[in-house]
Amino acid sequence: EHLYKERHLIERIFLYLKNFRRVATRYDKLASSFLSFVLIAASMLWLK
C-alpha cells in the first residue's frame, strides 16, 4: 500500500507535466533540451 501511494504521486506529476505541449509531444530533438524544459516545467508546477 505504501508503494501504491508513492506511485500515485509520480503518475500525477507526469500527468501535470504532459499538460505542457512541448513535453507531451517531445518537441525538442536533443535530450539535453528536453530535460531542461522538463525541469523548467516542474519548477513552474512547484511554484504554482
Q: What is the model's pLDDT at position 47?
A: 92
List, in order, residues 6 or more apart from 37 with CB less than 8 Å away.
Answer: 20, 22, 23, 28
Type of residue numbered 30: L
DSSP state of 20: S
In this prediction the pTM is 0.69
User: What nine digits make up the cell of 20?
Assistant: 505542457
pLDDT digits (tens, 9 = 90+) for 3-39: 777 888 888 888 888 888 888 888 888 999 988 999 9
Residue 1 banded pLDDT, cuts 50, 70, 90? low
DSSP H stretches of helix in the chain: 2-17, 21-24, 31-47
Q: What is the model's pLDDT at position 39?
A: 92
